Amino acid sequence: MSRVDAIAVSDVTLVRDGNAILGGVTLAVANDERWVVIGANGSGKTSLLRVMALYDHPTSGTVDVLGQRLGTADVRELRRSVGYASAALAEQLRGDLTAHDVVKTARYAALEPWWHRYTTEDDERADACLEQLGVFHHRDRTLATLSSGEQQRVLLARTLMNEPAVVLLDEPSARLDLGGREQLVGTLQQLATDASAPPFVMVTHHVDEIPPGLTHIAMLAGGSIMARGPVDDVLTADSLSECFAMPLSLERRANGRFIAWS
């Protein structure tokens, strides 16, 4: 039986206003893999994740999510199987929504709780996700009154609402202070090493934010993948220097975290 990847993009290009954002990107994420996508600002990381999350249609190429192809599947239904968190999505959520409602609306990939009807089971699932991310005690607080770190954990809880088959995280540590970032890396490490957790792809441009337990890396430069494969094989000082177009040194600490410097 042939393997069905959680997500597979093949020869994907993305052109906007005459500008090539992505060029011939091919990447497959298996069900037992956890990926990081790294690259400089403007390298196409966020655009690639939006294509994977079914929010942007590529100019050419194919996108398969859970064995269903973009263009032939019901996108609204398929999105419910994808946990997706990004700064752009967060900005669309009203600040006066409670943490509970922020998580619950993910049931229908919605932004407002009044768009759909929810069950007692939905409420219980939302509370369980908040508990898993350590923010259940903020259940009834509004999003705007939470710290940036607390908001980010609520948004991560939101990605788990539908027990997704795959999770996509676009720069999840953005806007976090040092303490919040370290807590988040610890949470992501737990997800990465939990055999029962879904596969996930996270985007970052800082190697020190890569949690131990991630299995694979894709390095983007100029909208194309310049290297991909197992983290232990691909992430080196040479590849990192090429990716960011500057000489960099790289060290992996005893705790499994990376540090880079020029």
Report residue 217's pLDDT band, with 50, 70 and 90 as the boundaries: very high
SS3 for 196-210 is: CCCCEEEEECCHHHC
List Cβ neighbours of 16 (8 Å cut-off, separation of 6 or more): none
**What CATH class is the domain 1-81+166-184+197-262?**
alpha beta
pLDDT, position 151? 86
Sheet containing 216-221: give its strands across: 82-85, 166-170, 200-204, 34-39, 216-221, 224-230
Condensed to tens digits (0 to 9), the pLDDT of residues 33-91 reads 999 999 999 999 999 999 999 989 999 999 999 989 998 988 888 888 888 888 777 78
Closest among 212, 203, 229 to 42, alpha carbons compared:
203
pLDDT, position 179? 82
Condensed to tens digits (0 to 9), the pLDDT of residues 164-216 reads 889 999 988 877 788 878 888 888 898 888 888 889 999 998 999 999 999 99
pLDDT, position 201? 95
Asked if residues 52 and 75 have their Cβ atoms less than 8 Å apart, the reply is no
pLDDT, position 76? 83
**Positions of CATH 3.40.50.300 in the chain:** 1-81+166-184+197-262
Condensed to tens digits (0 to 9), the pLDDT of residues 114-169 reads 878 899 999 999 999 999 888 999 999 999 999 878 888 898 899 889 888 899 99
Condensed to tens digits (0 to 9), the pLDDT of residues 1-39 reads 456 789 999 999 999 989 999 999 999 999 999 999 999
Q: Measure the CA–CA gap between 202 and 45, rounded to whole angstroms.
A: 10
